[in-house]
Structure 1
Amino acid sequence: MANPADQLIAPEPEHCPGPESENAGKADPCQSCPNRQICATAPKGPDPDIALISQRLSGVKHKILILSGKGGVGKSSLTCLLAHALAADPDRQVGIMDTDFCGPSIPKMMGVESETLHVTSTGWSPVWASDNLCVTSIQFMLPNRDDAVIWRGPKKNGLVKQFLKDVEWGELDYLLVDTPPGTSDEHLSVNALLGAEDCGVDGAIVVTTPQEVALLDCRKQIDFCRKARLPVLGVVENMSGFVCPRCANPSDIFPATTGGGRALAAEAGVPFLGAVPLDPRIGMACDYGESFYDAFPDSPACGALQEVVKNLGASIERKGKVNGHVQTNGFTTTNGLATTNVHAVAA
């Protein structure tokens, strides 16, 4: 069955109920929309590809979205640092799915920018950055490194589905999904496709920096998670202070005028996973595609990452112990798995 979103002839209007909604073509926002007839006649009901995605991801134990309300908080770099920290245990298999299609920086940071995706008879093979750490990104599909991706929502949604349905992820302990800033098509698609009970998304990590300007947008991101019924595993405060390597004096580069990430987590009633300090060597490691975690294991930043990994494991374990219908982070889950209604968010 073709995806109705792929047949749209114009961008979806504000408050669009979605082409698969029973209200498609009938709601008030539909009356002046050029897609009205397409949506009204499109097949309704759950996406048939969800069963294929569930089968493809059956070997992935934990699926985690990395979110931020705004750009510039170091979400992609934190995704790479967290992936390296998790992969430091050789018995763990870790994957990164880069859904930031307009700014795919993960391959550069992971040192695999020049690689390409290989297509086999059973699907797409991810690129392996190390023996137990693999990556999938649109960057591997671009003819030139500097090519811009200028896509509307339906094409982005289609590639999200392909990354989940066609990539041979195999047996993974963690699949980290790096998303673009904000709450848009990529977030809705990933949540809808992974939010089904048999797919089993664990939840989201929300990344912020200490200053109130960043916290403003992170509050919106947490509100998005609640409306989308996506569990929040915790908040990570990135760029949290700086310790001078020469004099060892700490400095607050971004002062936490309202309490920073820890206060945000307490205010929202979600776990605080940790605070990762600034370190110039992190930027250099990302530029050269090297693992900061492996090169400087005794640095304050790596110590903070170890704390984040420990707290993340505890947050996932708490969620895993939940049985039946319970209340988690402000919304109902079934057997510890959140259900998703993407149209409730878009409406």
Structure 2
Amino acid sequence: MSQPPGAARNLQDVKPYGRICVVGGGAWGTALAAVGVRAGRNVSQWSRDAATATEIALNQVNSRYLPDIDLPPGIEATPDLESAIAGAEAILIITPSTSIREVTHAVAAHSAADVPIFAGAKGIEAESGLLMTGIMAEEAPGRVLGAISGPTFAVETAQDLPTAVTVACSTRGMAASRMAATLTTYSFRPYVSDDLVGVEIGGAVKNVIAIACGMVKGAGLGENLRAALITRGLSEIKELAVLLGGSRETVTGLSGMGDLMLTCSSEKSRNFSYGLQRGAGVAEGDVFEGRPVVVEGRDNAMTVTDLARARGLHMPICEMVRAIVAEGAPIGDAFATYWSAPIEAEPRALDVAIAHPAQDAARDYFGDTNR
């Protein structure tokens, strides 16, 4: 079959990494380890929990995070970080965002300075306001750093269902291209970017928007409003990304719009599911039946708005979620404040602000959904 014009333009001869190490024994880390093995790479995986590492290595299963999924044989899982990293040509740190500083510091101590490190966590550090690769730059100075992000549910990737991601890295060398080639299989398709800021901002903010969308679903406020929040939430992501030096084009890609659409539309998302329960009237302490489930959007609501406020940017949807999850505002009151704000223009260049003609009625309407 003939190729379309330009299809073979700029093809690169990229050498995949032969051996990679996945640092993290959770669902996404295990899924990426499985992808690496399916792609024909030698893959080691570190898990803090020795039982999880043993299960993966001996039984090809991670019953804690990916129950009932058969993993491919060949993942060399271990609870010993130093042995996991030994010989790796590239390292993927796939841990919760709150652990990224500690883990990166340990990884840097046990790996050569020319080994690139990629982050799979999403978020902003509360104390510093740094993105994940910003934290990594402090703990592993001089390293080539990257990020992997996109619309991914770990369980589907582990099941070998089609998945696309963005692999971003600084412009030094070809690390992003090499990692993309390393992980490519018949079902896993990476895209390459040099916009770390744009990729990471999309991953951090989408969790906050997903909570808002879950609340809409739980409160019975309809699909129209959920679609509006996704669209306006994307605008908030763009504004913050550009303010920090990222590209608007990146935000309309997999790591921005793609991840946002997925996370805001399915109960497989912990953030959406959390919002769904809160919107349905479940008290904070009773969400997920009181189990300690990681919902990064709760923390992100604070860190994202703190960062935006420090830069003079107002992010109304993220502020609304912050008011609910961090400041105890009733859901109906918070939505009423957002919805009854002055009417604005969509094009940024059009400077329009109109006092909301039905402000009181809007407040009364949303007030009926208070939980």
| Same-fold status (TM-score > 0.5) | no
Greater RCO between the two (CA within 8 Å, min separation 6)? 1
TM-score by length of 2: 0.31
Structure 1 or 2: more strand by fraction: 1
Structure 1 or 2: more helix by fraction: 2
